[in-house]
Amino acid sequence: MGVCVSWSRKQSARFEWHISAVGVGPSCFSFARRKGDLMEVTLLGTGDTTGTPTVACKCETCRTARDPPEALRRRLRDQGATMTAAGGVERTRFSVHVHNDRTDESLLVDFSPDFRHQFLREEVPLPDAGIVTHVHFDHLDGLGNCYRLLDDLAVYAADETDPETGESVAGTVASDYAYLDQVTVHPQTPLEPFEVCGFEVTLVPVVHPPLLCYGLAVEDPETGAKLSVSGDTAYDIPRESCEVLADPDLFLADAIVPADLCEYHPLGGAHHDSEGVPRTFGTKHMTREGALSLADDLNARETRLVHAAHFYPAEEAFDRDSLPPCSHTYPVTGAETGDNFGSGRK
């Protein structure tokens, strides 16, 4: 089991040095609940595998996250960002909480290593079910937190055997957590919808070499509200996956770094657009530009960039609209209601 970002320690240091020259940034967000909103999406964690601030990192973004200038701190507070006890902000490891107001059930997409902190901070209900997109540390290793918190947790994951691991995501979850009686794994076939927490959920193959990884669509069959999640992925996801993810009310897109940072990745960038801008960083994550491009391809009504690294320059890292700092809750309603999401503070 590995992490999502693959450059070597030496390369990482070089990368970090370059980035710190321009600054870098974090995040943590939270969006509002509004009467009548039936699908409530809380971004519990919007960071990459090291989070922001990154432990021991002294880059400008991490320093700014730990101790924002007063004007930024005030703006973030006014915008509803969750502040740390020390007055900073943070971007914890990826996890999304989806509450169904109609059934009063909660679905958790990925189990962040920051699970405990996220649930204490946001006070969202514990999950009734969970989904694991892939077996990287930052998406799976929080699952053990259900011990003594939950009597029973249904965990859904893909059933395709990964040649890299010799087992499916569902198989790895089942074997890693065989010691926890609370966890029941339900293997699912990608591209085939299944029902959980009153939602219709479909796992879709994405591109995150060398491991198999899945994005997903979560739809409320009663209201038509639709959330799509890219999962950790490069830009060129399969056409059938795009068809399932298309036309979401809210799209959460992996946007690990701005495209101009591909210069510092040992493998550079890939999937360049007509202007020559790389939409993939290395081989397994989208650049910010790639994420926005995919959002466009999918005709997303609203998009939030997630899985962001501290390599974002400090002046760009704390933009609530596109790059929500930490936890925000978004009420999502079907587009046909004419309603919107993202207003108000929880």
Which residues here bind Zn ion, judged by CB under 5 A?
4, 24, 54, 57, 59, 62, 136, 138, 232, 310
Cβ–Cβ under 8 Å, residues 23 and 33: no
Q: How far is the CB of 136 from Zn ion (least distance, A)?
A: 4
Distance of CA 79 to the CA centre of its chain: 20
Provide, rounded to whole angstroms, the least separation between the CB of residue 158 and Zn ion: 14
CA distance 122 to 112: 14
Report the nearest approach of Zn ion to the CB of residue 208 (Å).
6
Comparing CB distances to Zn ion, the nearer of 304 and 346 is 304
Environment class of 153 (CB within 10 Å of its CB; exposed 0-12, middle 13-18, buried 19+): buried
Closer CB to Zn ion, 38 or 253, in the complex: 253
Residue closer to Zn ion by CB (options 215, 269) is: 215
Q: Which residues on adjacent β-strands are paired with residue 41?
A: 98, 330
Q: How far apart are the first and last CA of the chain?
A: 36
Residue among 206, 232, 207, 211 nearest 163 (CA): 211
- As a whole number of angstroms, the distance between CA 212 and CA 208 comes to 6
Specify the residue, 59 or 270, whose C-beta has the smaller distance to Zn ion. Answer: 59
What residue spans of 53-168 are helical by DSSP H? 60-66, 70-78, 115-122, 137-140
DSSP-assigned letter for residue 80: T
If the CB atoms of residues 47 and 198 are measured against Zn ion, the closer one turns out to be 47
Q: What is the DSSP letter of 267?
A: T
* In the complex, minimum distance from the CB of residue 283 to Zn ion, in angstroms, rounded to a whole number: 12
Which is closer to Zn ion, CB of 24 or CB of 332? 24
Q: Considering the complex, what minimum distance in angstroms separates the CB of residue 51 from Zn ion? A: 10
Shortest Cβ 3–Zn ion spacing (Å): 7
The minimum distance between CB 59 and Zn ion, in angstroms, equals: 3
Distance between CA 51 and CA 92 in Å, rounded? Answer: 5
The tokens 């960071």 sit on which residue?
Answer: 47
235: burial class by Cβ within 10 Å (0-12, 13-18, 19+)? Answer: buried
Residue closer to Zn ion by CB (options 57, 204) is 57
